[in-house]
Amino acid sequence: MTQPLRQSAPSLSPSNLPDPVRAVIFDMDGTLIDTEAAHRRAFAETGEAIGWPMSDALLLSMVGIHRDENERMLSQHLGPDFPLARFYAESDALFEAAVDAGIALRPGALLLLDHLKQAGIPMALATSTAAPYAQQRLEKSGLLDYFDVIVTRSDVEHPKPHPEPYLLAAQRLGVDPAHIVAVEDSYAGVRSAVAAAMATVMVPDLLPRQRNWSSPARKSCPASPTCAICCSRRRRKDGKLF
């Protein structure tokens, strides 16, 4: 597995963040682990191979969405003749081969996780990936031990963009959502965290930034989880982190 460099943190001025920050909840795919591009390649290559090429717009609309919703979208866009079972069997095989070859982390992910751990800030994961696959990716990427709480698709009735994943993670952490920062890469994930009334940082991966989120507590960072270090660099008036 190739580990990213622990880069130097940029100087960013946080705004609208809780004071104090008592916990941070992360998305997984595309936020900490660089898997969204592999998913997109697997979908695109499989679509071509089975004679159902997919547009970039359709592929991007699937980012950050749980499988049930993606299946509904594919059926809606491509019609009832689309071979859904074959598509997922073949695209899953391509994606798992990419995972087996090694999972890269997003630039700056380890820097942020290490910093929060050293500061004693509890961390949770809220992902739309089912439990066994999330466990596998966290183990292979070396991230499993960073998290006090892990909430997967298997734990919730209503996945992102519903707030349930973030609210459940907050409940299990025992922290008021008003004192939590959420870190996301997808529109569905940001909507989920915002609906849970959490300060939300978007670190774009495949999807571009938006600035019209309906929340007074959100920040859009320009490149990678390195930028989200602004959350962990906030100092209180007494000089202590958070």
DSSP H helices in 67-119: 67-78, 84-100, 109-119
Q: Which residues are catalytic?
A: 27, 29
Q: What share of the chain is helix, strand, coil (3-state, %, to 5)?
A: 45, 10, 45
Spatial strand order in the sheet of 123-126: 149-151, 123-126, 23-26, 180-184, 199-202, 218-220
- Residue 206 and residue 224 in contact, taking contact as beta carbons nearer than 8 Å: no
Give the pLDDT confidence score for residue 210 in this predicted structure: 55
Q: Which of 74, 73, 69 is closest to 86 using CA atoms?
A: 74
Q: Whole-model pTM?
A: 0.77
The predicted structure's pLDDT at residue 229? 43
Crossing angle of the two packed helices 164-173 and 187-195, in degrees rounded to 10: 60
d(CA 242, CA 232): 7
For each of the chain's 242 residues, which pLDDT tens digit applies?
434 333 333 323 355 678 889 999 999 998 999 888 888 899 999 999 999 999 888 888 877 677 888 888 898 889 989 999 999 999 999 988 988 888 889 989 999 999 999 999 999 999 999 999 999 999 999 999 999 999 999 999 999 999 999 999 999 999 999 999 999 988 889 999 999 999 998 887 655 555 554 443 444 444 444 444 444 444 344 433 33
Buried b (16+ CB within 10 A) or exposed e, 196-205: bbbbbbbbbb
Domains of the chain: 23-34+103-232 (3.40.50.1000), 36-100 (1.10.150)
SS3 91: helix
Q: How far from each other are the two terminal CA atoms of the chain, in whole angstroms?
A: 33
